[in-house]
Amino acid sequence: MKFEDGLKKLENIVKTLDDGKIPLDEALNLFKEGLALTKELSKRLDEIEKKVEILIKKEDDVIEKKPFLQEE
Protein backbone atom coordinates (compact mmCIF):
# COMPACT_ATOMS: atom_id res chain seq x y z
CA MET A 1 0.00 0.00 0.00
CA LYS A 2 1.29 3.46 -0.86
CA PHE A 3 1.94 5.76 2.09
CA GLU A 4 -0.63 8.26 0.82
CA ASP A 5 -3.27 5.53 0.54
CA GLY A 6 -2.56 4.39 4.08
CA LEU A 7 -2.81 7.93 5.36
CA LYS A 8 -6.13 8.46 3.57
CA LYS A 9 -7.45 5.21 5.05
CA LEU A 10 -6.35 6.32 8.52
CA GLU A 11 -8.08 9.68 8.03
CA ASN A 12 -11.30 7.86 7.07
CA ILE A 13 -11.06 5.66 10.17
CA VAL A 14 -10.63 8.71 12.40
CA LYS A 15 -13.58 10.46 10.74
CA THR A 16 -15.80 7.40 11.19
CA LEU A 17 -14.82 7.07 14.84
CA ASP A 18 -15.36 10.80 15.42
CA ASP A 19 -18.87 10.58 13.99
CA GLY A 20 -19.76 8.08 16.72
CA LYS A 21 -22.53 6.52 14.65
CA ILE A 22 -21.23 2.95 14.54
CA PRO A 23 -21.74 0.11 17.01
CA LEU A 24 -19.15 -0.30 19.76
CA ASP A 25 -17.76 -3.58 18.38
CA GLU A 26 -17.23 -2.04 14.97
CA ALA A 27 -15.64 1.03 16.54
CA LEU A 28 -13.24 -1.16 18.50
CA ASN A 29 -12.24 -3.04 15.35
CA LEU A 30 -11.67 0.24 13.50
CA PHE A 31 -9.64 1.55 16.43
CA LYS A 32 -7.40 -1.54 16.33
CA GLU A 33 -7.00 -1.19 12.57
CA GLY A 34 -6.13 2.48 13.01
CA LEU A 35 -3.48 1.69 15.61
CA ALA A 36 -1.87 -0.92 13.36
CA LEU A 37 -1.96 1.48 10.42
CA THR A 38 -0.45 4.27 12.53
CA LYS A 39 2.38 1.97 13.59
CA GLU A 40 3.07 0.93 9.98
CA LEU A 41 3.00 4.52 8.66
CA SER A 42 5.22 5.75 11.48
CA LYS A 43 7.74 3.00 10.77
CA ARG A 44 7.81 3.92 7.08
CA LEU A 45 8.32 7.60 7.92
CA ASP A 46 11.22 6.70 10.21
CA GLU A 47 12.82 4.66 7.42
CA ILE A 48 12.43 7.51 4.94
CA GLU A 49 13.77 10.05 7.41
CA LYS A 50 16.97 8.03 7.76
CA LYS A 51 17.49 8.19 4.00
CA VAL A 52 16.99 11.93 3.66
CA GLU A 53 20.11 14.01 3.58
CA ILE A 54 20.41 17.73 3.62
CA LEU A 55 22.96 19.12 1.24
CA ILE A 56 24.63 22.23 2.48
CA LYS A 57 26.65 24.34 0.10
CA LYS A 58 29.59 25.81 1.92
CA GLU A 59 31.21 29.13 1.13
CA ASP A 60 33.94 27.45 -0.93
CA ASP A 61 31.31 25.69 -3.11
CA VAL A 62 31.98 22.32 -1.49
CA ILE A 63 28.85 20.26 -0.91
CA GLU A 64 28.59 18.70 2.52
CA LYS A 65 26.12 15.91 3.25
CA LYS A 66 24.50 15.84 6.66
CA PRO A 67 21.88 13.45 7.98
CA PHE A 68 18.39 14.85 8.23
CA LEU A 69 17.51 15.85 11.78
CA GLN A 70 13.86 16.25 12.66
CA GLU A 71 14.61 19.04 15.13
CA GLU A 72 15.87 21.37 12.38
Per-residue pLDDT reduced to its tens digit, 17-37: 999 999 999 999 999 999 999
For residue range 33-66, list pLDDT tens digits in order.
Answer: 999 999 999 999 988 877 776 656 566 667 777 7
CA 7 to chain centre: 7
**CA distance linking residue 25 with residue 31, whole number of Å:** 10
pTM: 0.70
Average of per-residue pLDDT values in the chain: 86
CB 54 within 8 Å of CB 66:
yes
Angle CA(47)–CA(52)–CA(55) in degrees, nearest 5? 165
Task: Quote the pLDDT of residue 29.
Answer: 98
Task: Quote the pLDDT of residue 49.
Answer: 76
In terms of pLDDT, which residue wins out, 71 or 8? Answer: 8
Task: Quote the pLDDT of residue 59.
Answer: 63
User: Which residues are CB-neighbours of 33 under 8 A, at least 6 positions away?
Assistant: 13
- Name the amino acid, one letter, at 19: D
